[in-house]
Structure 1
Amino acid sequence: MSFSTLVFHCTIILLHLTGESQEVGSSQTALIGEDVILPCLLEPAADVVSKSLEWGRLDLEPRFVHVWHEGQNLLVNQNPAYRGRTSLSTEKLKHGDLSLSLSALKHADNGQYRCYFPSQGKTSTVELLVGSVSSPVIAEININSSIVVLQCESKGWYPEPELLWLDAEGKILSAGPTETVRGPDELYTVSSRVTVEKRHSNNITCRVQQSNINQIRETQIKVTGDFFPLKSLLVCPSTVTALVGEDVILPCLLEPAADVVSKSLEWGRLDLEPRFVHVWHEGQNLLVNQNSAYRGRTSLSTEKLKHGDLSLSLSALKHSDNGQYRCYFPSQGKTSTVELLVGSVSSPVIVEININSSIVVLQCESKGWYPKPELLWLDAEGKILSAGPTETVRGPDDLYTVSSRVTVEKRHSNNIICRVQQRNINQTRETQIEVTEAKIHHEREAELREKEQLLAENKIKEEKAKLNEELQKKEEEQKQLEQLVNMLMEQSDELNKLKDQLINQHTDTKKENVEFDTKLQSVDKETESDRVKGYLKLKELLLETKQQLMKRKREHDVLQHNTQTLLRKTDEVLEEMKEKKKEVEKHEVEISEKLEREKEISQEEET
């Protein structure tokens, strides 16, 4: 018998051709502001659109992140922190894909998420780690004829990063201690100073990195013998890297520092029309001719301009922002440029596409990269594995998708890593999977027995529910019949009373009629002697009264007949209702006995 189980993988998905499955898990990492998918698959795949599904965090109140119930979202009790940021795909649910989409990530989203499929009682979890990064800024804080003291600072990191100074060959420089400050927003700011010589070519790199989220940001500055002339100049790093969706600062410093709030400043890209990215003129922004692609995304700091910092803030980066930016200070005719490289990354997904008793063929795929990345397979010791060629596809959005396959042995412990990296933007994403020997047969049999028992229990529950529903209907029907019987019995009693009244009334009428006949005969005898003429009038009155009594008698006879007929019909209906009531009571007893037998069978199976 086949069975289903939830397979939850962070960024790992196992698709077993055999219809069996095992759980594999690791942490899912992403950056603030990014969107992420928390995968949760039902294997073998089945249509679950009409079922219920709950994504939650047990450390929150309410715990509900997203609830799906019988074909629609049920978000009444959704935790307000996730409102408007979660979604499920109906199309994917049709194929057993319960994955949750979570957008615009925040630090508060860090935590363990539970995917719960109640119809099968299946639960699985994933740990989400949301990081935050920013590009470092290098500033010159002291200078003489032969040496330069540089300070590097990078704000808004999470988790806590480390800062390194590197020379042109990538060797770590001896520098002052790193100062780390954690702000009220839980984000870290790191800074450090280094003293270097001014030589013909001395490239210095400040690198800030966080290994838990595989994030690196660095800024490079070229220190030469004529780097700092006696007159003022603009200082910009040669290259700044960042990711799509992030905010970035393009540094531009006036040396020596001076207040330039009342001056003019132009940031531009000469390859665009119009070229203006941001213009500052005599104390205010002048954005009339700003290129529309940058509208609402650029800013300068008045406070920084007071200290000669002409750096441009650019938010919500796009791929089209890639290019060379010019910082132009017209009052001194000074110009400097900085190259912005905007990258795009995503976590790789490992899929098992073939399996036998001793080996596994794995496929790793990662979508949405820019620039073009490389893909590597590594073993548990970090050594590169021999794998098939990497397939690279560039989509219509200029983003790259890379994929590769590797064949590995199933051993007691065999950790395999798929790493995708892009050196130009210092970005690395990787996913790890542990490939072990197949589950022991008796474990699978136990799972099968558990599944069979679950199906049997569900069947019993469904039959019991149907019987209870039928019993409830019969009880309602019996109640209605009892009410109808009571009503008919009351009606029968009333009709019998009416019948008795009619009989009494008829008897009284006959009696009155006899009395009138007697009086009338008496009047006839008296009127024969013709002693009193008034008797004639009395006789006429008596005759009229007799006629009225006879008419009344006939009406009573008709009414009595109708009443007798209605009473007979009521008795017939009443007898019929009593028989039907007995049948309902009998059926109710049969249903109760069946429910009791089902209960006894269930208890015997449990023992």
Structure 2
Amino acid sequence: MAAMRTWALLLLWFRTSTQGKTPDVHITCVFSEDCVLPCSFQPASDQVIRWLRQEVVIYTLQLEDGEDGEDGEDGEDGEDGEDDQSEHEQYDGRASLFPNLVSHGNASLRLTKCGPRDRGRYRCQVNSTAGLHEAQVIVRVEAPVRSLSLSLELSRLDGYEELKCATRDVYPAPQIAWATDPPTAGGLRPNTRMLADEQGRYNVESRLRKLKDQSQLTYICRVNSSYGTQVWTASLTERAISWTERRNLTVPCHAPPHLPNPSLSWSFTNHNKPAIILTYNSKPQQSSVSTLWKERVVFDPAKVASGDGSLWLVEPNRLEHGGVYTCVYASLRTTHTVVTRVTMTSDSGEDAHVQEKHCGRTECCYSPGSFEQRKNCTSRQDVSHGVRYGVNDL
């Protein structure tokens, strides 16, 4: 009998202690933005609402019988009959309720300009004639990764080539991992630096020395957010092409599979002077080609979505078109870069790849492999294998 009475008392205590409590709520607030901590209760009279962080009261609102808190607009303090205040200097002017929603059982707390110091466990406590209601809210703050770049650079100190993977304004500090495709024997040894700014956000830079005698490698940098909410991937492939000037040239660019609605950009660097060649966005199917390159390039927009963003150069010359061509495929949280170094030798004869076909006088006949063409083409013309930009009197 004594044992049964003990169990009955324990059960009664458990029911009493958990009355008015709700399961913990986990929310993620975005760095420097406003955030709402939810709390709902059964409306009653003589309500006193308190919010506590780590068991320290940070905000109080007291409504006496007959007051409903609906004098103010949504998110603004009401007038007459409300005694509300922030009780911690960290939240002074940053914490508020929604007064016109309190009478409807909404005691949610709004925090403005959230930062790292706002992380932690919060407790919403509503005391009224209906009893005590409590709710726990677990808050974490995140500045998500918004971009990731991977580039090939020359080390200023040692003169060797290295890959730089970088992202900015991230919180908490993310995790960085490197890999190659195909995998290489031995571990990779990147040098990673994470520097926090005055607000606590991290600028991340990870450098990996380019492996010797491994020209066919694809380098992969992955960034995982600390909370596991995001994974960003950037990859880079490098290749070299030796070509004879005035012969039509295909500069290949192939993306990894399964990139939804990708965008594509091509740029060219010669004598350390970078220039944009073209950009293309597959979702609105819009493209833009630099005026300086309109008479030199052909590319096939229809193939971009399937992973082929190759660029075709019409009769390039070594002085103007020998250099580094960079193709960047970009999709949601994924980028793939192809760096192609093109060196050209002088032309020693007739271009064997330019042949006459039975075309109309103002028509150009193209095939992606040979770029066959006829002289005196129109200034801009759609062709069967792509879009031709302003090739005149080639």
TM-score (norm 2): 0.48
**Structure possessing the higher radius of gyration over alpha carbons:** 1
Structure that is richer in strand per residue: 2
Q: Identify the structure with the greater helix proportion.
A: 1
What TM-score do you get using the length of structure 1 for normalisation?
A: 0.33
